Amino acid sequence: MGDIGSRIEESKNWFERAAEHIPGYGGYKRKELRREADKLQREYVAERLENARRALEQVALAITNQGDLSLLAPLDTANRKLRTIKDKFLYADYGYAGLFDTVKVGEDMLDRLYEFDVRSQEEARGIEELVAAMSAESASLRSDVVLLDQRVVALDQFFADREHLITGVGR
């Protein structure tokens, strides 16, 4: 995906560049851009996970067509976990904190959230690649599904760590 922060910076128009010289506006705008970058990073992760979920549905369909129903339950469980973690990333708080919000998210926190989200991209791409390599005809499908489950659980824990960073509260 590249460095989304620099892509956002490059996309500014002349008015946005001029407004950065207004006292107080520059810091406000940088914070908003970081929030937007965080949101885009999470959307990217969610898209990777949705691609994996759809590919997993195709594997389940192929298994059903072959008449082998023994792996349908583990595949369905993995599919539900993928959907859940995808939704967590897609709908997570992306750092907005209004004047009266309980949890305030500062620039340093936004930087740390951005780092979490960049690292989560790698995990999501790995999950997407794992599912793309799965095949109903594969002799290792059962172990691949177990591995997928472990990686999704690890990504879910990673997300919980992200939430803990924001709220200071564990799950």
Q: Which residue has the higher pLDDT, 66 or 13?
A: 66
Q: Which two tokens stand for residue 35?
A: 């929030």
Residue 3: predicted pLDDT: 61
* Confidence band, pLDDT 50/70/90 cuts, at residue 37: confident
Per residue in 100-156, pLDDT (tens digit) is 344 455 667 777 777 787 789 999 999 999 999 999 999 999 999 999 999 999 999
CATH number of the domain encompassing residue 16:
1.20.120
Residue 167: predicted pLDDT: 74
Q: What is the DSSP string of 118-146?
A: HHHHHHHHHHHHHHHH--TT-TTHHHHHH
Residue 102: predicted pLDDT: 44
* Confidence band, pLDDT 50/70/90 cuts, at residue 40: confident
Q: Which residue has the higher pLDDT, 77 or 35?
A: 77
How many other β-carbons are positioned within 10 Å of the β-carbon of residue 169? 8
Q: Are 42 and 89 in contact (CB under 8 A)?
A: yes
Tell me the C-alpha distance between 147 and 138, whole Å.
Answer: 14
Residue 163: predicted pLDDT: 81
Per residue in 43-90, pLDDT (tens digit) is 999 999 999 999 999 999 999 999 888 899 999 999 999 999 999 998
Q: Say whether pLDDT at 97 is over 60.
A: no
92 closest CA partner among 160, 28, 168, 34: 160
Instruction: Name, of 72-76, 111-115, 161-165, 167-171, the range with top average pLDDT.
Output: 72-76
Residue 12: predicted pLDDT: 63
Residue 98: predicted pLDDT: 43
Tell me the C-alpha distance between 137 and 46, whole Å.
Answer: 28
Tell me the C-alpha distance between 54 and 50, whole Å.
Answer: 6
CA trace torsion 162, 91, 16, 116 (10° rounding) = 20
The mean per-residue pLDDT over the stretch 8-31 comes to 59
Q: Which two tokens stand for residue 128?
A: 């997407």
Domain count for the chain: 1
Contacting residues for 36 by C-beta, under 8 A, at least 6 apart: 8
Run of H or E residues at 151: helix 141-167
53 alpha carbon, distance to own chain's centre: 13
142 alpha carbon, distance to own chain's centre: 25
Give the range of the structural domain holding residue 107, as residue numbers without chain letter.
Answer: 4-167
